[in-house]
Amino acid sequence: MSEDASLQYERMHLDKILAGINVQERGTRLDITTANNSIKSLTAIKNGESLSSIVALGGPVMAKASIQTDSTVLTAVGKGVIIEMDIETAINYLEKYLAEQNANLNKITSDQRTIINRMEAIDEYFARANMPKEPPPGN
């Protein structure tokens, strides 16, 4: 395989990897936003504010719910596991989760930058290779 063909293949492969990483980034940003909103809501409940919400009961059926300050909450901790926690424990769990997701986001953006830099280097190689040659002086 020629160097040009190899670089074209690498560029195409990097483009596919970057598309997957971009999806991962959007999911991580959504998780961070959701965790932040949950922490705000739980903190408000802990501070005595009454909070109401809509709870899905299955299918298109929903119900209004009021959350009391002495309530426990059900927290999804991964792999389909849901644990009942007091509000303070849930806030602590979410803060740790948030720190992990922010670290993941930093890694994702670093990986994106590395891939983009390599793609730009390949693009520059092809741009230079396709430049017209300078005529010799005196012609």
pLDDT for 115: 98
Q: Is residue 120 part of a domain?
A: yes
pLDDT for 58: 87
List the CATH number of the domain containing 19.
Answer: 1.10.287.370
Q: Is residue 105 part of a domain?
A: yes
Tokens 């040009």 map to which residue?
Answer: 4
Q: Is residue 110 part of a domain?
A: yes
Residue 139 confidence (pLDDT) above 60: no
As a whole number of angstroms, the distance between CA 76 and CA 98 comes to 14
Q: Mean pLDDT throughout 79-91?
A: 93
DSSP string, 55-78: EEEETTEEEEEEE-TT-EEEEEEE
Closest CA to 102 of 39, 16, 10: 39
pTM for the model: 0.78
Q: Is residue 135 part of a domain?
A: no
pLDDT for 132: 66
Q: Is residue 42 part of a domain?
A: yes
Residue 137 confidence (pLDDT) above 90: no
Q: Is residue 57 part of a domain?
A: yes
Q: Is residue 82 part of a domain?
A: yes
The pairing of beta strand 81-86 with beta strand 72-78? antiparallel
State the average pLDDT for the chain: 90
Q: Is residue 137 part of a domain?
A: no
H helix intervals, the chain: 3-46, 87-129
Q: pLDDT exceeding 90 applies to what percent of the chain?
A: 63
Q: 7 or 51, which is more confident?
A: 7
Interval 47-77: pLDDT, tens: 888 778 888 898 899 999 887 777 788 888 8
Give the total number of structural domains in the chain.
Answer: 1
Q: 117 or 45, which is more confident?
A: 117
The whole domain housing 114 covers: 3-129
